[in-house]
Amino acid sequence: MSRTIDQSRTTIGLPLEQDIPARSEAILMGLGHAQPSIRLSQHESETRIATALKLTNDRRDRWRRIIKGSGIEHRTIAMDIEQVIDLGTAERMQAYERLAPPLGEESSRRALASSGIVPEKITDLIVVSCTGFAAPGLDTSLVERLGLSRSVRRTVIGFMGCYGGIVGLRQASAICRADPMARALVVCVELCSLHVRNDPRGDNLVSLALFADGAAAAVVRGSDDRDHIDSRTQSGGIGSLTRGSSLLIPEGREWMTWNVTDTGFAMTLTRDVPVVLRRRLRSFVANIQSPTPKTYAIHPGGPGILQAVDDALELKGGFGLQAARRVLRDHGNMSSGTVLVVLEELRRNERELPITLLAFGPGLTVEEISLIA
């Protein structure tokens, strides 16, 4: 039986099918992140949001307690609270279309620079976001802005919440394991500030206290990329990504939600989430099919989430948990890309491999991927 050769593969340096070796790794080559220019102290956030929501008396006191217990000192936002709060969802999406691409571009350029891989060599673009929708969307904007090949294979991972960054890495790992010559760029962009809503109820106040804006990117390649022989030492290779694993906890379906409303996206977050993580996380980690981690990169969903992870895994504040607390303190919860920022922080401090990344989100879902030597 004859086979037709896909000529498009040659336009971005992809090998012909018969040239692909049988086995490949997925090597994490570089990381980068970016934040918008408006930086607020948590004290400023407390005052401005209380004023915008017209909180008084008991509600103002409750808001003050939530802010105080957030574990955050500073956050960045793309758009001022006062400009957003009265917008409809369509207007918020228009703002997303305008503000997300430059942030995604900046984080991508930093990740590409640290990887040593030039934009035109990227074969796969994986965009992750849960805070905005458009078509043509962020993926096509990044192709233009970064100068990626018009033949780049694009994947959009949408509305998965805080664990979306790990799903993006897992997709990149699968691609690079299947195609040793692949080079994947994962870009997470979240503009949580676009969903400031005029709602004084507790769930909304908690989300207003925790979430921030930011972008994070990662570059992953297959192990037979002939442009990067010995690139782990020469071009900043960090380690190999595993296939990853996932756990869906069905009884937690309503404990963490993210719903579209006429005035932006609304979050539900109950106190049951830390409770179930204490109960289920240890066995989940014990069954991961990868070497025992020496370090953890934990998504800093909030101080209660981090404490639950600490208790469940008996980390005693160590094993990389300090990095997650620092990222929460200095940046807030930037949703999907935050775990990549934690990993970048761990890398700066030369934490040992294996590193297990963990994140949590709607479902209730636990996602994992590990970085091994």
What pLDDT score was predicted for residue 224? Answer: 76
Give the separation between CA 150 and CA 252, rounded to whole angstroms. Answer: 41
Domain boundaries, the chain: 27-234, 239-372
Give the separation between CA 241 and CA 186, rounded to whole angstroms. Answer: 13
Q: Which tens digits make up the pLDDT trace of 210-240?
A: 999 999 999 999 987 555 544 443 454 899 9
User: Do 27-234 and 239-372 fold alike per CATH?
Assistant: yes
Q: List the catalytic residues.
A: 162
What pLDDT score was predicted for residue 8? Answer: 40
CATH H superfamily, domain 239-372: Thiolase/Chalcone synthase (3.40.47.10)
What pLDDT score was predicted for residue 21? Answer: 47
Mean pLDDT for the chain overall? 91
Q: Is the dihedral of CA 229, 233, 235, 240 positive or negative?
A: positive
CATH code: domain 27-234 is 3.40.47.10
Q: Residues in the chain with pLDDT < 50?
A: 1-18, 20-21, 229-234, 236
What pLDDT score was predicted for residue 23? Answer: 60
pTM: 0.91
What pLDDT score was predicted for residue 24? Answer: 83
218 pairs with which residues across the strands? Answer: 31, 186
Which tokens belong to 334? 């930037």
